[in-house]
Structure 1
Amino acid sequence: MNKNIITKHYTNNKEILNLENINPVPFIFLLLFTVGMFFSEMSLSFVINEVITRFIRDGILVLSLLLPITAGMGLNFAITVGALSAQIVLILAIDLNFYGITGFIIACFFAVVLSVILGYAIGYILNKVKGKEMITTIIIGFLANGVYQLIFLAGYGTFIKPRNTEIILSRGVGVRNMVDLAPYRNILDNIWKINVGDIIIPVFMLIVVLSFCIISAYLMNTRLGQKIRVTGEDMQKAESLGININSVRINAMIISTVIASIGQMIYLQNIGMLNVYTAHLNSDIFSGAALLAGGATIRKAKVRHAVLGIFLFHSLFIVSPQAGQNIFGNAAMGEYFRSFVAYGTLVIALILNKNKLY
């Protein structure tokens, strides 16, 4: 008996120490950031300020990816639909003159309602294509973008009558490319800020994002979270345990879409401007890249991966343009490198974890 215990203990330690279990992606990003920081010659306080801003701006969007991955559906590129829900409601709120913190809260409520409906539809579709969820969510994102563009480029001013003509193009049909979100700009960021030397810390928003981190971690320990985990590990085993896997997967997509819509609301109030036709683009790619940069895979992701990934990914994003300017004499090289980093992260993570895809 003791021999069996020792053998089991040795085997477990061997698995823990197995180098194959170490994800090199965070170390690659840390190395690239260190090199970029050196050549960019940026001040540390500037980089820290920018990283904090991006953490509160993009943190919740990244967290929206956790549940679908745990449920075995891979990266949910359909979080674009959640982002679109937020943008639709914000445009309507500006059109109907819902301003101030009250208007923002009302907009958040309706964004959540819309994202619940759309999240259910996405989950229903994905239950029909088990095993092909990632490519399906990409197509769903494209479809949702096309419908959204049609409504606000051709429908607004024709069958949808605007009240606020300032957001409409001069021809009377279609919403302008840029809509000013002045009534909501930094409406949450400015609630509670403190200065520590040259570093500005938006305490309230940090608490909000960290609260979502805690809620996400707690959710995985609830009964629903356990069902999601079992479903992601083995759907046949989950069914044998009496778990309705279709319902579990739909719930995971609903929660993911809701969190994404809230994340986009926070993102847009931080930016203060809504680029109507492009603000949602790349929200899925950048969020997925940030998560993978933190050491997550498309089969396993935790809150710590999201937090670490946001800091690593966006730190490199901040220093790369100036580093490109100083190394090559051309800032455009740094901008190209940003896109390379985003898509390259996905490719590297998929290659390194190719044995974990199925």
Structure 2
Amino acid sequence: MEKIKSFLQKNIVPIFILIFISSIIPISKLTPQYLIQEMILRLDRNLFLVLSLLIPIIAGMGLNFGIVLGAMAGQIALIFITEYRIIGYQGVFLAMILSTPIAMALGYFSGNILNKSKGKEMITSMILGLFMNGIYQLVVLYGMGSIIKISNPKLILSRGSGIRNAIDLQGIRRGLDSLLEIDVLGQKIPVATFLLVGLLCIFIVWFRKTKLGQDMRAVGQNIEIARAAGINVDRTRVLAIVISTVLAGFGQIIYLQNIGTMNTYNSHEQIGMFSIAALLIGGASAVKASIPNAITGIILFHMMFIISPVAGKELMGSAQIGEYFRVFVSYGIIALVLVMHEWRRERERRVERANEISDSKGETI
């Protein structure tokens, strides 16, 4: 009985979402084939981004809302490859290469800021993302075309400086997805993208076993003990954020090449919130997360996004009301997940304090 209770408490969020989805699937009347194809599409787009959150969690830095900095680096790289007119999978991989130094610089800056706010990394990374968004928009809106040479008329505004609000990525649209695509029972599987995601999963598993990975785990468990053991705590934490930011840049490029268009000033803004919500829905926490949490979370979170508006339309008889229903339910679920997450953390703290008191009494006796 205790095992069942413990399992339910640890997985209350995914269980709640699963019950909710199961209750509205019949109302939506969507076919299993459609849902499977949509899930393949959403995993293709979002899994790399969500996996980029795992490394800072190992290092005890919580949920990195600062992955939006990596997304900005990816988008700047996409602007350059569109300017150079490089298409296909070559354009996708070149964008990844170009985004790497930008993401490393942003990650280094972010990591050093977070080292000044130990214990408050999540809120600091969120505010840092908002601050850097202003810098990004300043560079893209005023710097490109005037300081940074951009001559492609499809990119530049008529005044001669500033990037257009929407950029057509037709040249690299599905450049990676279509590189190796197979058809299984009528479902298109982008094998090349999933191979890249698989390599990232292997890297994460391998990385945890390396000296640096073990150092990050030690830092995540107890900073003072890690410092006493001779680990350079600040450097280790900065490296965790740099790796996460670079991976987020790759993830944003994969995401946008699948969509085929980029909103220059808004595409990156919700990346952090939605990726973190998906990870939490998958049963992760700010101190513990795994690859299965990322996969489960994306499936549950995006299944809710797909089904909610259709179910709302069927219930209310209006597509517009169905869309309001989707927004209401989606953001409501995110708020609920974050509240449940904080409740779990507080409960874990109480259990730890109770154990410490019990141990101290035992030692006194």
TM-score (norm 1): 0.91
Q: Cα offset for 1:303?
A: 1.2
Q: Deviations over 1:25-82 (max 9, x none)?
A: 1101111111121211101111111111110110011011111112111110000000
What letter corresponds to residue 347 of structure 1 in structure 2? V
- Map 1:210-221 to 2 at 5 A: 210-221=198-209
CA distance in 2, matches of 1:204, 1:166: 29
The residue number in structure 2 matching 1:38 is: 26
Match of 2:226 among 238, 252, 260: 238
CA distance in 2, matches of 1:149, 1:212: 30
The residue number in structure 2 matching 1:336 is: 328
Deviates more, 1:331-340 or 1:45-54: 331-340
What letter corresponds to residue 344 of structure 1 in structure 2? L
- Map 1:209-358 to 2 at 5 A: 209-329=197-317, 330-332=321-323, 333-356=325-348
The residue number in structure 1 matching 2:195 is: 207
Q: Cα offset for 1:102?
A: 2.6
Q: Does residue 124 of structure 1 match 2:112?
A: yes
Deviates more, 1:332-341 or 1:171-180: 332-341
The residue number in structure 2 matching 1:150 is: 138
Any stretches of 5+ residues in structure 2 without a counterpart? 353-365
What letter corresponds to residue 53 of structure 1 in structure 2? L
Q: Does residue 54 of structure 1 match 2:42?
A: yes
Root-mean-square deviation over aligned CA pairs: 2.0
What letter corresponds to residue 22 of structure 1 in structure 2? K
CA distance in 2, matches of 1:104, 1:211: 17
The residue number in structure 2 matching 1:10 is: none
What letter corresponds to residue 348 of structure 1 in structure 2? M
SS at match of 2:188: strand
The residue number in structure 2 matching 1:102 is: 90
Aligned length: 346
1:110/1:31 CA distance change after superposition, 3 Å: same
Match of 2:178 among 172, 187, 190: 190
Q: Cα offset for 1:249?
A: 0.4
Q: Deviations over 1:296-333 (max 9, x none)?
A: 01111111111111111111111111011112332121
TM-score (norm 2): 0.90
CA distance in 2, matches of 1:157, 1:313: 39
Q: Cα offset for 1:217?
A: 1.9
Q: Cα offset for 1:19?
A: 5.2
CA distance in 1, matches of 2:212, 2:5: 31
The residue number in structure 1 matching 2:359 is: none
Q: Does residue 168 of structure 1 match 2:156?
A: yes
CA distance in 1, matches of 2:157, 2:147: 15
1:256/1:331 CA distance change after superposition, 3 Å: same
1:77/1:244 CA distance change after superposition, 3 Å: same
Deviates more, 1:88-97 or 1:261-270: 88-97
Instruction: Give the 4+ runs in structure 1 shifted more than 4 A.
Output: 13-17
Q: Identity of counterpart residues, as a percentage?
A: 40
What letter corresponds to residue 89 of structure 2 in structure 1? I
SS at match of 1:243: coil
